[in-house]
Amino acid sequence: MKIFCIKRTLLQVFILTSLVMPGSILADAPLRRPHQYMVCSNDARHCAVADPKAGVSVYEVGTEMRDPLWHLDKWPQWSFLANGGNYFVVPYYGYNLLSLNYTKSTIMLRVWRDGNFKYSLELKDLIKDFGKLERSVSHFFWGYYKGFDENGDFIIDTVEGRGLSIDIKTGKITEKYLIDIKTGKIIEK
């Protein structure tokens, strides 16, 4: 069986959900049950198949599924795959909602290269003013994972209105723009 990709990123699902059910964005719903899913790179040349029992396998689109480029034994609740298929990002399991008993050292992002762990980023690396976290019924809203941009950097929008760009190779964080987090409108670059 060959792998073929219909590009559906978490960002697209998020946007669709926010348009159809705007009140659900900060809802305190339980996490999705473990399930198999596929995430593809923005250029749709590589896809990762994440299975709760088998872990994650990354394939080049159009190749046989028995020949993965690399494999992880762990299953992530959410994930992003970079163009080239070598960098794999796993966000915080609660995605944009932190538990009420979060710590500043909560791991918010884990990065693998070719199946080997490279680094992680903590909440304190992403948020400057913890007083800006927005309380919901049972969580704190901290921001959004937007995914990879055209330069291969990983983009995050924080509740503080900062658009962060993460150099996926080094983990270096730079502020890319200011954003109105409620509307998604970029205020300045």
Split at pLDDT 50, 70, 90, the class of 33 is: confident
Split at pLDDT 50, 70, 90, the class of 3 is: low
Has residue 40 got a pLDDT over 70? yes
Has residue 146 got a pLDDT over 50? yes
Give the mean pLDDT of 112-136.
97
pLDDT of residue 71: 96
Q: Provide the pairing of β-strand 70-72 with 80-81.
A: unpaired
Residue 38 is which amino acid?
M
Whether this prediction's pTM lies above 0.85 is answered by no
Give the mean pLDDT of 41-65.
94
Q: Say if residues 86 and 152 touch (Cβ distance below 8 Å).
A: no
pLDDT of residue 31: 65
Q: Say if residues 47 and 58 touch (Cβ distance below 8 Å).
A: yes
Give the SS3 label for residue 22.
helix
Has residue 184 got a pLDDT over 90? no
Per-residue pLDDT tens digits for 80-122: 999 999 999 999 989 999 999 999 999 999 999 999 999 999 9
> What is the Cα–Cα distance from 77 to 110, expressed in whole angstroms?
12
pLDDT higher for 99 or 15?
A: 99
pLDDT of residue 63: 82
Split at pLDDT 50, 70, 90, the class of 189 is: confident
> What is the Cα–Cα distance from 57 to 98, expressed in whole angstroms?
28
Cβ-based neighbours of 131, under 8 Å, separated by 6 or more: none
Neighbours of 29 (CB within 10 A): 8
Split at pLDDT 50, 70, 90, the class of 64 is: confident
Cβ-based neighbours of 21, under 8 Å, separated by 6 or more: none
